[in-house]
């Protein structure tokens, strides 16, 4: 016998840009939103009966409509409003999951001052959140960031590793450490100042990265995760991905020159890949 197993559907890559007008200037945010619904959709799969299907085009329109009336100041709070709206109007939906990625914009600086209405694209860093809730259930909120590119030009080493006949990497007590950080943490509360909490977590991890005497990417990753959990009590675990973006020391000896850790060639691939979850003990 063949049967339908887990399934869900929704709308992805919905682009939303919102300008909030204020007396001192405007605020700008750009989000990419995904909606996924789980529920009683068996009849659509088995019999082509769409009577319980909310069109994904309607989901797209809902994203814009909820944004127009939203009082949220964070992506997490907006996602909560959107999930509640969809669940309240669709009893056939058992749970809704809202994922949002943020594109960063920075105010232009003109004559040494932030301009009230003009912006420029920030770095490639993105803020993220996924908010889900079942009917009459509690919110589950995972937030994070990705593609935060950072580098240490000192206080990074890599020594004492396994060496065999295939090893060509030389030990070093002084190397460049570059990574594109991805982090996702789980909140234990749905009632927080999410933007302030996110800023505190981000700044804590960056401070740890900068100040840590690194013996490996693994050690630095754990130190960053540990500091994040110590900083915010309402986070119970954090997943970190830190690819090692290699910067290779150039051999200048054939030109009769030394190279005391000054000239490197950055390489995007292949790269080391280090990931781990840091959590509170049960």
What is the per-residue pLDDT for 282? 83
**Fold equal for 9-134 and 147-279:** yes
Alpha-carbon gap, residue 211 to 177, rounded angstroms: 13
Beta pairing class for 235-241 and 275-279: antiparallel
State the number of CA atoms in the 13 A half-sphere of 38 facing the CB: 12
Q: What pLDDT shows up at residue 183?
A: 98
Number of residues in the chain: 282
Beta bridge partners of 145: 127, 183
Active site residues: 11, 56, 246
Per-residue three-class SS string for 117-172: EEEEEEEEEEEEEEEEEECCCCCEEEEEEEEEEEEECCCECECCCCCCCCCCCCCE
How much is the pLDDT for 180?
96
For the segment(s) 147-279, the CATH number from 3.10.270.10, 3.40.50.300, 3.40.1110.10, 3.40.109.10 is 3.10.270.10
Domain ranges of the chain: 9-134, 147-279
The DSSP symbol for 272 reads B
User: What pLDDT is attached to residue 188?
Assistant: 98
Q: pTM of the predicted model, to two decimals?
A: 0.92
Q: Which one of 3.10.270.10, 3.90.420.10, 3.30.70.1400, 3.90.1150.10 gives the CATH number of domain 9-134? A: 3.10.270.10
pLDDT in tens, 28-60: 999 999 999 999 999 999 999 999 999 999 999
For residue 51, what is the DSSP state? T
Provide, rounded to the nearest whole percent, the portion of the chain with pLDDT above 70: 100
Give every residue of the chain whose pLDDT is below 50, as ranges.
none
């Amino acid at each position: 016998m063949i049967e339908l197993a887990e399934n869900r559907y929704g709308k992805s890559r919905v682009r939303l840009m919102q300008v909030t007008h204020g007396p001192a200037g405007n605020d700008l945010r750009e989000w990419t939103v995904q909606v996924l619904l789980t529920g009683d959709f068996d009849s659509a799969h088995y019999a082509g009966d769409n009577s319980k299907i909310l069109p994904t085009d309607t989901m797209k329109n809902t994203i814009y409509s909820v944004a127009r009336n939203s009082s949220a100041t964070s992506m997490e709070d907006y996602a909560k409003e959107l999930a509640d709206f969809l669940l309240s109007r669709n009893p056939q939906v058992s749970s809704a999951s809202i994922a949002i990625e943020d594109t960063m914009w920075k105010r232009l600086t003109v004559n040494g001052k932030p301009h009230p209405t003009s912006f420029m694209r920030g770095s490639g860093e993105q803020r993220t959140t996924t908010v889900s809730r079942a009917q009459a259930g509690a919110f589950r909120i995972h937030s994070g960031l990705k593609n935060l590119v950072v580098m240490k030009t000192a206080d990074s080493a890599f020594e004492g590793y396994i060496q065999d006949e295939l090893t060509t990497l030389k030990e070093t007590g002084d190397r460049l450490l570059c990574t594109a950080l991805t982090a996702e943490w789980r909140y234990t509360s749905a009632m927080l100042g999410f933007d302030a909490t996110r800023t505190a977590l981000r700044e804590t991890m960056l401070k740890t990265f900068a100040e840590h005497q690194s013996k490996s990417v693994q050690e630095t990753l754990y130190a960053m995760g540990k500091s994040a959990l110590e900083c915010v009590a309402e986070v119970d675990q954090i997943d970190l991905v830190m690819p090692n973006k290699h910067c290779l020391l150039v051999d200048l000896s054939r030109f009769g020159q030394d190279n005391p850790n000054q000239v490197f060639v950055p390489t995007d691939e292949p790269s080391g890949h280090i990931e781990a979850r840091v959590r509170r003990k049960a």
